[in-house]
């Protein structure tokens, strides 16, 4: 009988050690590993030599991107990774030593948030993001007004976004399953 108790305690100890918190925040090295892996697997930027470091959940990208689209894709990949608070591109340059356009960096951060919160897929997005004169224009065809609210809310949570103009179309007739008094359109629960 004592061996059964010992076995039971051993199983209990192994179970306790293997349980992780439900909403565990990734550590810096885990974020770094995930970003490097996603960049290596991507067909657009996988061939670039980019150094990725993470400090206090801020991803720092260093290296040369050939185009603004490549820089935007790198930022999008980093921003879509779970646990990332911000992406630093101060050490990221274009082919001839220029800094990437701030609008393409901002678009990458916005699309990265959309991917992280399941508003877009990795390679295609139903929301078009255009930045003109520091104004973010959002357009597209969405399934519900809640998706539109989520898109505006996530966009407003990105550092550097000051003004948003959103023009969405709803694809199917939307019938809410809750009363209007319960729904609060101004509150942002995704940010």
Q: Which DSSP string do the residues of the chain spell out, in sequence order?
A: -HHHHHHHHHHHHHHHHH---TTPPPPHHHHHHHHHHHHHH-TTTTTS-EEEEEETTEEEEEEE-SSHHHHHHHHHHHHTSTT--EEEEEEEE-TTSPPPPHHHHHHHHHHHHHHHTTSS-SS--SEEEEEETTEEEEEEEES-HHHHHHHHHHHHTSTT--EEEEEEEESS----SS-TTT--TT--S--
* pLDDT (0 to 100) of residue 181: 47
pLDDT tens for each residue of 127-145: 999 999 889 999 999 888 8
* Domain positions in the chain: 20-170
When pLDDT is cut at 50, 70 and 90, the band that residue 182 belongs to is very low
Answer with the residue of higher pLDDT: 2 or 143.
Answer: 143
When pLDDT is cut at 50, 70 and 90, the band that residue 122 belongs to is confident
Name the pTM for this structure.
0.75
């Amino acid at each position: 009988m004592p061996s059964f108790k010992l076995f039971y305690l051993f199983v209990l100890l192994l179970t306790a050690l293997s349980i992780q918190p439900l909403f565990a925040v990734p550590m810096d090295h885990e974020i770094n590993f995930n970003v490097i892996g996603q960049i290596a697997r991507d067909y657009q930027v996988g061939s670039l030599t980019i150094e990725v470091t993470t400090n206090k959940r801020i991803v720092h990208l260093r290296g040369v991107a050939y185009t603004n689209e490549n820089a935007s894709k790198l930022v999008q990949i980093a921003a879509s990774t779970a646990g990332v608070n911000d992406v630093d591109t101060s050490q990221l340059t274009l082919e001839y030593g220029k800094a990437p356009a701030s609008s393409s960096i901002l678009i990458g951060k916005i699309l990265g948030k959309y991917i992280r919160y399941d508003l877009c897929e990795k390679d295609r997005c139903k929301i078009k993001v255009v930045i003109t004169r520091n104004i973010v224009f959002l357009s597209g065809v969405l399934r519900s007004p809640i998706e539109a609210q989520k898109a505006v809310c996530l966009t407003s949570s990105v550092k550097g976004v000051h003004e948003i103009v959103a023009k969405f179309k709803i694809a199917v007739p939307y019938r809410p399953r809750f009363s209007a008094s319960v729904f609060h359109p101004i509150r942002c629960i995704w940010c």
